Structure 1
Amino acid sequence: MDLQPEVRTGLRRRLRFVGDGSGHRLQQRTDVARDRPYLHAPGAGRRRRGAFRGDSRQRQRLRPGGQRGCRIRLGLPDSAGQPRHEHRQGDAGPLTRGIRVLEAVPNFSEGRDAGFVEAVADAFALAGCEVLHATMDPDHHRSVVTVIGPPRAVENGAVAAARLALDNIDLREHQGVHPRVGALDVLPFVPLKGMRMRDAVEAAHRVGFRIAEIGVPVYFYAQASHPPGQTLAALRRGGFEALGQAPGRDRAVADLPGRDSRGRVLYGWAHPAAGAVCVGAREVLLAWNVDIEGMDHEPAKRVAAELRETGGGFAGLRTLALHLRSQDRLQIAMNLENPAATDPGEVFRAIERKVSRLGGRVAGTEVIGMLPDALDTLRAARSMRLRDWSEERILSRRVSAHVASRRRAPG
């Protein structure tokens, strides 16, 4: 198995760093309470004091301890569509039937400041959520955080995170290889235990309305759009820069324009610094990157084009070929919308064949966020050269543990 060398160091608040320096990752340790996020930031510098702005309670919690962090690696943002299956395996029986679990996977246009990602994790934790995973990458200049919890807690945490993004990210100064239109770029809600897609759509609409109230326009996508099915690719075409020029280009106004405290419309298309937020409702998907060696960027683009659904490849597969300059890595970044119907192993083997014919080789695979049940065995991980596989990364198992912990909680 293509595992990276690990370095583990105990820090304040039981934090630890794991990895080889090519990226950062945040997970929770298994020997402490699971409601606290733990930062894994191999090779990262000390957090810059005052690098982000949050409320006083968040700043007080984040000030001590120096270097701390989050699971920091990255892939494509979220998109829609996959039959629900992982969360149904976590049903613990009659005693937990009233427990509802909603997942959110916000994507932020910040991949270089671990302090910001930790502030986001703390905002969700303070709202009553469990932070499962976080990633960031300096070349993508993007971070992804995965949280679960009671629906209202997840909604409140998402709004608090949107405020942090508004206060701390200026897209006019942002440069990264990943497409984006917003400081908080993508905010999907995923129905898990005891929830239907309709519930996730309603959560997306409630949160979208609250984000618009702080002045940031909102576009709905996937199952939350009307009619359902709006794609991220269509919303982000041209990026933040094109969205800022939308008034002169006959582009549709946001579903929810940014407003002030009196309800007056401030921005119809994009906030001048924070852009817009794409808020959606979707099923569980697989976000992953395959690293390639021994070939140039242009041939990798052709491989990515052949693999994606729109190029006649695999159903529900979205792909980009990206060159990460500071890490000297070439990768095919992917979202697989239905890993239960399309075998990720088949996609991986197709990549190996195509890359080999062009004189290259596959160096390894990383998953962004949590693992679907299609990758719940070590054998599957080894067959795809998956880095850092562990049972703690399997979504259905973490949902089961989360439900059990809420069942045991007093009250």
Structure 2
Amino acid sequence: MASGSLGRQLVACLLNVSEARRTDLVETVAKAALYNTEGRNTGVRREGTTVLNIFNDHDYNRSVVTIVANVDSIREAVLSACEKACGLIDMRAHAGVHPCMGAVDLVPIYPLGEEVGVEDCAQEARAVARGLTERVRGTSAFLFGWADPPLRRGLALRRKEMGWFRKTPDLQAIVPDMGPRPQKRFGLTGVGASPYVMNCNVTIDTRDIAVGRSIAAAIRESSPGGLPGVQVLALPHEGAVEIACNVESVKGNAPGHLAAGEPWPSFSVGGQPYCHAPASLIAARVAELAGRRGVGAASAALVGFTPLECRGLAELALSQGIAEFWKEQRRLRM
């Protein structure tokens, strides 16, 4: 990614919390990342930090808060948001169609340019996991990606190991990497680091979850002919089925047989080239597979931004001193 005129050491955290139906609560969590509310510093803004976006999904009862900060500021911003979320969200009362295990379900930290390495993000991720379990007694965490040395196990594998995909995970059977065995109140939090991961959701016009699962299986990276970097679930959503994709950045250049159409966006981390499958390719593949089954593809949407968009909007927000950018982004991007 281009370093930009500001030369900032920027990193992003796409904080996933298990609440979306109380949007005021989610905004309170977002603001906790932005403002120091301890002691005499009540309401003082944290410099070099912005919240670019808040994505709420009512059916999933899950929100994604995009926090961007300098690498030396991200830890405290994310920890403060996590603390607030754990104080406000009780997993014993949670209901939603998206799998989850924790009040704070996922804390991924990504570099936004050459100035910061993935290992720097991994160091901050481990510090966040440790800090959360120390500050909020009863919380527990598992590590993934670069934050999980030496194996660097990916998020999908670690979630499988923890029972995240089960309808009712057995919390007492889980041995977390940090903290005690998970408690029902807080659940379990995944914390990690990697090159940027996008979220791309495609809705297909059917209620038949079996059709969705067959499409998800066909595009999943691990399947023959699947799309590199794509991890995917099929979930019921607003009277239809949503193909919900995590789109991981993959090292190297786009595969030749897939790069003939739209170019794959590319960037560099630590001097190494990375790229990611464009949302348009994912949407087209889902539409093709759905069409073979007599089903239409209704819509496709990114949850948040591509890595290049995230970097550019963060520089814009920070250069203009906009902390609560999610309130301003539509006006500024028009």
Q: Distance in 2 between matches of 1:116 and 1:295?
A: 31
- 1:399 corresponds in structure 2 to 314
Flag structure 2 segments of 5+ consecutive residues without an equivalent.
37-45, 250-264, 266-274, 322-334
Superposition deviation, residue 90 in structure 1: 4.1
- 1:255 corresponds in structure 2 to 177
Q: Distance in 2 between matches of 1:118 and 1:372?
A: 23
Q: Indicate how the Cα distance of structure 1 residues 243 and 223 shifts in structure 2: closer, same or farther if over 3 A, else same.
A: farther
- 2:272 corresponds in structure 1 to none
Matched to 2:292, the amino acid is R
Partner residue of 2:84 out of 164, 185, 194: 164
Superposition deviation, residue 371 in structure 1: 2.7
Q: Distance in 2 between matches of 1:189 and 1:341?
A: 17
Task: Note if contact 1:179-1:236 (Cα within 8 Å) is conserved in structure 2.
Answer: no
Q: Distance in 1 between matches of 2:282 and 2:159?
A: 25
User: Does residue 1:235 correspond to 2:158, yes or no?
Assistant: yes
Task: Note if contact 2:198-2:307 (Cα within 8 Å) is conserved in structure 1.
Answer: yes
Q: Distance in 2 between matches of 1:222 and 1:199?
A: 13
Taking only aligned residues, the RMSD between alpha carbons, in angstroms, comes to 2.0
Partner residue of 1:245 out of 162, 172, 178: 172
Q: Indicate how the Cα distance of structure 1 residues 224 and 200 shifts in structure 2: closer, same or farther if over 3 A, else same.
A: same
Matched positions, count: 278
Q: Indicate how the Cα distance of structure 1 residues 133 and 341 shifts in structure 2: closer, same or farther if over 3 A, else same.
A: closer
Secondary structure, aligned partner of 2:231:
strand
Q: Distance in 2 between matches of 1:344 and 1:228?
A: 29
Q: Indicate how the Cα distance of structure 1 residues 162 and 341 shifts in structure 2: closer, same or farther if over 3 A, else same.
A: closer
1:181-196 matches, cutoff 5 A: 181-193=101-113, 194-196=115-117
User: Does residue 1:296 correspond to 2:205, yes or no?
Assistant: no
Q: Distance in 2 between matches of 1:186 and 1:294?
A: 29
Secondary structure, aligned partner of 1:287:
strand
Q: Distance in 1 between matches of 2:312 and 2:63?
A: 24
Q: Distance in 2 between matches of 1:182 and 1:232?
A: 15
Task: Note if contact 1:181-1:243 (Cα within 8 Å) is conserved in structure 2.
Answer: no
User: Does residue 1:207 correspond to 2:119, yes or no?
Assistant: no
TM-score relative to the length of structure 1: 0.64
* Structure in which a larger fraction of residues adopt strand: 2
Secondary structure, aligned partner of 1:156:
helix
- 2:326 corresponds in structure 1 to none
Flag structure 1 segments of 5+ consecutive residues without an equivalent.
1-87, 258-266, 374-393, 407-411
Task: Note if contact 1:187-1:280 (Cα within 8 Å) is conserved in structure 2.
Answer: yes
1:117-136 matches, cutoff 5 A: 117-127=26-36, 128=46, 129-136=49-56
Matched to 1:210, the amino acid is G
1:322-401 matches, cutoff 5 A: 322-324=235-237, 327-338=238-249, 340-373=275-308, 394-401=309-316
- 1:25 corresponds in structure 2 to none
Superposition deviation, residue 294 in structure 1: 4.3
Cα deviation, 1:361-409, whole Å, max 9, x if unaligned, reads 1111111112344xxxxxxxxxxxxxxxxxxxx2232133246457xxx
Q: Indicate how the Cα distance of structure 1 residues 161 and 276 shifts in structure 2: closer, same or farther if over 3 A, else same.
A: same
Answer with 1 or 2: which has the greater Rg.
1
- 1:141 corresponds in structure 2 to 61
Secondary structure, aligned partner of 1:298:
helix
Secondary structure, aligned partner of 1:315:
coil
- 1:315 corresponds in structure 2 to 228
Task: Note if contact 2:143-2:191 (Cα within 8 Å) is conserved in structure 1.
Answer: yes
Matched to 2:157, the amino acid is A
Q: Distance in 1 between matches of 2:183 and 2:154?
A: 21
